[in-house]
Chains A and B, each alone.
Chain A
């Protein structure tokens, strides 16, 4: 899928050019940066000023060729922030609404598979008004999937839910990403969701595309910090759960730069996890340290140092698998260690900092 478009909006101009691969492409940016306008244009609910939208090698919009396929013929699933279920229909009829309108030979999603994927079986006879927020979003996702879409758009589907409901629904989104082989465009302003779900991140600011790339790269680039947010300064690195040590209540995780000890995880050995390491939880050393409880030491090469006003600086450390870590260091210590770009260094993190929020 290819998206290239321009649109003048009330307060700024929206201008993007990106490609979606299978998996989840996250449109990430602050509220009001044009994310929703962008997916409305992909869905055909809003017309761009110019550009081109290509899904599955089918042109849905091309200003040069004067092509503009109407929303109802695009076969793009849209999960709205507010679910927008039909209040007068049961859950079952909500689910089937789009299926009925999809020509038989274009259908690939079956009711049974969607019910199973989203665990909707027990809700079928209920009315939307009696569902919880999380259940509503699951039904909305199922309804969109049953149109057998070429592409699924999700507009902050979790933003109306509280923390516990969010955690309930995230595994469904991961299954969706891993089991349905369609590209998904996921709009969010929540870093945790993007870091956990996305394969690709498109960073938007005031309608302008700032960066495109895997979350590990985009969310850690120092020059994008103004847009990804300072408070959330952190890096995402992949790891594999190597073993559990129940006698100590810990799990051992393997990363490309060394192993990490975390509080015991509720996951199977061999499963892949993403770690979100906050810059302020990490410290840095020139050489590995022995005789310390700080045994979580990751070796990398310094690729960037951003010195700011005030006490702190940020150091970007590239690990062997090309993912990057962000370390927040007091400037005085940077001076003391005489660290420079190109040096090898060790990032260290306490096991206590690898809490539930750090393991995605």
Chain B
């Protein structure tokens, strides 16, 4: 029962790879967007905020379809990427990374914005009187104090990427070894009569992975908080 089939191993491996890349690539973008959103008031700020959070409320199939339109072989962005960098996303694992990235972006932006807004602006003023430029203040005060939020973003983003299904299957389909991640594999097995055992196995695996990520986040978060606040 606990012996994983080669196909399941492949799905697990692919899921981890997609989630890792997605988290890695989304984190800097999420940080930039958070900086543009936290404690800011300018025309268009709410629109930007809504756009970032759109994938959270849109049916994932719609997000996947939009990605297909934009990043498919004949989409504007997709054609440009293919012509300039030879980077093809449609029906490739790289496309799964993009889908996971878009879907996890709002989940990553949220804790970062909250932690940035929670950092004490009075400390920034103190740093300025000590001779620190805005960049140095950001690197030496803002970023370390926002570290617990960044950590939460990484874990949430990773867990979301691991389990992303709707947008992925719509954008890059369900190709064994290329785009068949854990959720895709579970979906496939569900279609096959008599494969309940393997569905259960993969589902349990997902639960274990998600649980491990959350526990790890709790533990790291507590450690980081102690480090940051020195208690």
Question: Which A residues lie at the B interface, using CB under 8 A?
Answer: 43-45, 70-78, 80, 82, 84, 86-88, 90, 97-98, 101-102, 127-130, 143-144, 147
A130 partner residues in chain B, CB cutoff 8 A: 230-231
Complex contact A84–B231 (CB within 8 A): no
B20 within 8 A of A: no
Q: Which of B120, B125, B126, B130 contacts A101 (CB 8 A)?
A: B130
Complex contact B133–A129 (CB within 8 A): no
A129 partner residues in chain B, CB cutoff 8 A: 229-231
CA distance A77 to B123 in the complex (A): 14
Q: A78: shortest Cβ distance to chain B, in Å?
A: 4
- Segment 131-166 of B: residues with Cβ below 8 Å from A: 131-133, 136, 140-141, 144-145
Known: A97-B140, A129-B231, A130-B231. A84 touches B130 (CB 8 A): no
CA distance A169 to B133 in the complex (A): 31
CA distance A230 to B229 in the complex (A): 44
B227 partner residues in chain A, CB cutoff 8 A: 88
Q: B128: shortest Cβ distance to chain A, in Å?
A: 4
A143 partner residues in chain B, CB cutoff 8 A: 130
Q: B2: shortest Cβ distance to chain A, in Å?
A: 44
Known: A84-B122, A86-B141, A87-B145. A72 touches B230 (CB 8 A): no
CA distance A102 to B227 in the complex (A): 27
Complex contact B230–A98 (CB within 8 A): no
In the complex formed, the residue of B with least CB distance to A103 is B131
Cβ contacts A to B, 29 pairs, < 8 Å: A44-B128, A45-B125, A70-B128, A72-B131, A72-B133, A75-B131, A78-B129, A84-B125, A84-B126, A86-B126, A86-B127, A86-B141, A88-B229, A88-B230, A90-B230, A97-B132, A98-B130, A101-B130, A127-B230, A127-B231, A128-B230, A129-B229, A129-B231, A130-B230, A130-B231, A143-B130, A144-B129, A144-B130, A147-B130
A127 partner residues in chain B, CB cutoff 8 A: 229-231
A78 partner residues in chain B, CB cutoff 8 A: 126, 129
A90 partner residues in chain B, CB cutoff 8 A: 230
Complex contact A88–B131 (CB within 8 A): no
Complex contact A88–B145 (CB within 8 A): yes
B215 within 8 A of A: no
> Which 8 A/B pairs are nearest by Cβ-Cβ distance?
A127-B230, A98-B130, A101-B131, A78-B129, A84-B126, A71-B128, A129-B230, A88-B228
Complex contact A77–B231 (CB within 8 A): no
In the complex formed, the residue of A with least CB distance to B143 is A88
Q: Beyond the given A86-B140, A143-B130, please list 14 additional residue pairs across the A-B interface where CB-CB is below 8 A.
A: A44-B128, A72-B130, A78-B129, A80-B126, A84-B123, A86-B123, A86-B126, A87-B228, A87-B229, A88-B227, A88-B229, A98-B131, A102-B131, A129-B229
Chain B 109-127: CB-based contact to A (< 8 A → 1; otherwise 0): 0000000000010110111
A86 partner residues in chain B, CB cutoff 8 A: 123, 126-127, 140-141
B132 partner residues in chain A, CB cutoff 8 A: 72, 97, 101
Q: A108: shortest Cβ distance to chain B, in Å?
A: 15
CA distance A78 to B125 in the complex (A): 10
Complex contact A71–B129 (CB within 8 A): yes
* Interface-central residue, B122, B128, B133, by most chain A CB under 10 Å: B128
Complex contact B144–A88 (CB within 8 A): yes
Q: B190: shortest Cβ distance to chain A, in Å?
A: 48
Complex contact B122–A80 (CB within 8 A): yes
